[in-house]
């Protein structure tokens, strides 16, 4: 009995220590999430955004689960001499959903932000779940768009895969009550057991088998720049609860998406996707290319949906391709 009581007591102490660590972690990541961002009041409501770099402005419609913290996917553009403006789309962090969840309303809210900041013209990048809003922005505000880049971007109605629905990662994304606790565990696992944790990404973001996925993970983690990006993505998803409304809205949008106004897009477009995209599928990139007149399609078969991970030389070539495209179309843009 004394031994049992001692075991229960030790477990209680351990649980208290873990809980205390979690609370301190949550306070830290909550503070960090908005330490380099600004919230402004636009004519359509408040928007939180991050702005980095100097030069022509790239308006970045971020993907799911992140927010303005996901700017690092375009860090190479900052290095190349661009300003990357990443607003939190409605439902993420300091930008309330407030009925602005449709792609067209997301686009108009971004235009209102540009008005508030005094920015006339931009290049637009739509990444993943940010694709529909990026396309709508280019269609609804054509005079403000010098170029459009779509990176693994949703462009048509897209259901969720069985792996997304059944994987532990997929289930956690859709559970509100334990969002922050669940992502605490995910975040810590990503930092301490990175290679093991990335196996879930192979299942949800690619269509590769486990053996091919392991080779890709090894390539990613052997490159210091990509390893930093993996951990940055993990950190960009926390705290999760202030992003939950945006994530759920994104899932609803992609599953009920109506035809987007491709014909009204006049800006030159670069479309990038993977044939092994296990998240939204290659068909989204093909759809964008076929419906955006004169667009370029670049197929990059790296880490599936996460086209910027994999062989470091391929990643570098992809970044140079994007930079060259933007340079051609943003010359003279202020």
Q: How confident is the model at residue 160 (pLDDT cuts 50, 70, 90)?
A: confident
> Would residue 135 count as lying in a domain?
yes
pLDDT at 330: 92
Cα gap 197→219, rounded to integer Å:
15
Cα gap 257→284, rounded to integer Å:
12
Give the H or E element holding residue 60.
Answer: strand 57-61
Q: What is the rounded average pLDDT of the residues 309-327?
A: 97
Number of domains in the chain: 1
Quick one: DSSP state of residue 129? G
> Would residue 177 count as lying in a domain?
no
pLDDT at 165: 64
> Would residue 217 count as lying in a domain?
no
Full domain range(s) for residue 131: 34-161+243-330
Q: pLDDT by residue (tens digit) across 59-97? A: 999 999 999 999 999 999 999 999 999 999 999 999 999
pLDDT at 6: 47
pLDDT at 8: 44
Could you tell me the two tokens for 224? 């210091």
> Would residue 256 count as lying in a domain?
yes
Higher pLDDT, 160 or 155: 155
The H-assigned helical ranges of 46-173 are: 75-79, 103-117, 131-140, 162-166, 168-173
Give the count of beta carbons closer than 10 Å to the beta carbon of residue 104: 17
Give me the CATH number covering residue 267.
Answer: 3.40.50.1820
Specify whether the CB–CB gap between 279 and 128 falls below 8 A: yes
> Would residue 274 count as lying in a domain?
yes
Of 142, 148, 144, nearest to 269 by C-alpha is 148
Sheet of 45-53, strand order: 38-42, 45-53, 83-87, 57-61, 122-127, 145-151, 269-273, 296-299
Give residue for tokens 């300091």.
94
Of 117, 127, 138, 107, nearest to 60 by C-alpha is 127
In angstroms, what is the C-alpha Rg of the chain? 20
> Would residue 198 count as lying in a domain?
no
Residue 16: C-alpha distances to residues 26, 27, 132, 181 (Å): 15, 17, 44, 14
Cα gap 128→74, rounded to integer Å:
13
Q: What is the rounded average pLDDT of the residues 45-51?
A: 98
> Would residue 43 count as lying in a domain?
yes
> Would residue 120 count as lying in a domain?
yes
Q: What is the rounded average pLDDT of the residues 188-217?
A: 95
Of 103, 118, 122, nearest to 57 by C-alpha is 122
């Amino acid at each position: 009995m004394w031994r049992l009581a001692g075991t229960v007591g030790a477990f209680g102490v351990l649980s208290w220590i873990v809980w205390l660590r979690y609370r301190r972690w949550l306070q830290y990541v909550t503070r960090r999430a908005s330490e380099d961002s600004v919230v402004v009041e636009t004519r359509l409501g408040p928007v939180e955004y991050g702005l980095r770099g100097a030069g022509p402005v790239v308006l970045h419609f971020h993907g799911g689960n992140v927010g303005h913290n996901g700017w690092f996917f375009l860090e190479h553009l900052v290095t190349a001499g661009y300003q990357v403006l990443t607003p939190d789309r409605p439902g993420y962090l300091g930008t309330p959903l407030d009925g602005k969840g449709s792609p067209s309303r997301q686009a108009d809210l971004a235009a209102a932000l540009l008005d508030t900041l005094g920015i006339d013209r931009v290049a637009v990048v739509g990444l993943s779940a940010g694709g529909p809003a990026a396309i709508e922005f280019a269609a609804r505000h054509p005079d403000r768009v010098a170029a459009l880049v779509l990176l693994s971007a949703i462009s048509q109605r897209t259901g969720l895969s069985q792996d997304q629905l059944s994987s532990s990662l997929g289930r956690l994304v859709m559970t509100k009550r334990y969002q922050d606790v669940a992502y605490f565990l995910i975040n810590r696992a990503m930092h301490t057991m990175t290679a093991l944790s990335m196996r879930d990404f192979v299942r949800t973001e690619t269509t590769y088998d486990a053996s091919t996925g392991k080779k890709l993970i090894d390539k990613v983690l052997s490159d210091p720049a990509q390893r930093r990006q993996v951990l940055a993505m993990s950190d960009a998803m926390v705290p999760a609860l202030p992003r939950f409304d945006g994530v759920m809205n994104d899932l609803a949008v992609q599953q009920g998406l109506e035809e987007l106004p491709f014909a009204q897009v006049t800006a030159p477009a670069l479309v990038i996707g993977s044939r092994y995209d296990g998240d939204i599928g290659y068909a989204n990139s093909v759809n964008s290319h076929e419906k955006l007149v004169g667009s370029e399609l670049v197929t990059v078969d790296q880490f599936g949906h996460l086209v910027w991970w994999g062989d470091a030389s391929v990643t570098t070539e992809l970044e140079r391709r994007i930079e060259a495209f933007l340079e051609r179309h943003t010359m003279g843009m202020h």
